Amino acid sequence: MKIVKEAITVTTRGHNDIKDLTPEVQRRLQSSGLKEGQALVFVQGSTAGVTTIEYEPGLVEDLSELLEKLVPSDRVYRHDETWGDANGFSHLRASLLGPSLLVPFAGGRLQLGTWQQIILVDFDNRPRTRNILLQFVGE
């Protein structure tokens, strides 16, 4: 069993900015030389999340609208009162989505479905530079 660690840096606009990480994760997996195992994708920070989706404009917009309905950005949260940064909504959205995703790989390829991509969603209320940690475990 071998572990290969990598990192990706992504610049975002915040406000539900959604980035497709799939090509870069696949590229890093191929560079690792591993053929069978699992890929962990983890975003550092408490105002972003990682999941899968069909990365196409309509669904990207639908996801953003759903998150706005579930956790509105135009209300005051207790976090905002504590810290004065007006991003309480972004912390709540990130906790719903979660910071990580585990994807199996075989034959050196991520085992994603045809219409399934790995995405980063930045919920913060300002542009950010995000570090995404990758850990490939396998043979």
Q: Which domains does the chain have, with CATH numbers?
A: 2-138 (2.60.120.460)
pTM for this structure? 0.95
pLDDT surpassing 90 at residue 17: yes
| CA dist list (Å): 97 to 13, 82, 127 | 18, 23, 19
When pLDDT is averaged across residues 17-36 and rounded to a whole number, the result is: 98
Average predicted confidence (pLDDT) for the chain: 97
Tens digit of each residue's pLDDT (9 = 90 or more) over 68-84? 999 999 999 999 889 88
91 Cβ partners below 8 Å, 6+ apart?
A: 46, 47, 79, 123
User: Residue 50 in contact with residue 99, Cβ under 8 Å?
Assistant: yes
Can you tell me the distance from the alpha carbon of 66 to that of 62, in angstroms, rounded to the nearest whole number? 6
Q: H or E segment at 55?
A: none
pLDDT at 110: 98
User: Residue 9 in contact with residue 130, Cβ under 8 Å?
Assistant: yes
Tens digit of each residue's pLDDT (9 = 90 or more) over 94-123? 999 999 999 999 999 999 999 999 999 999
pLDDT at 80: 87
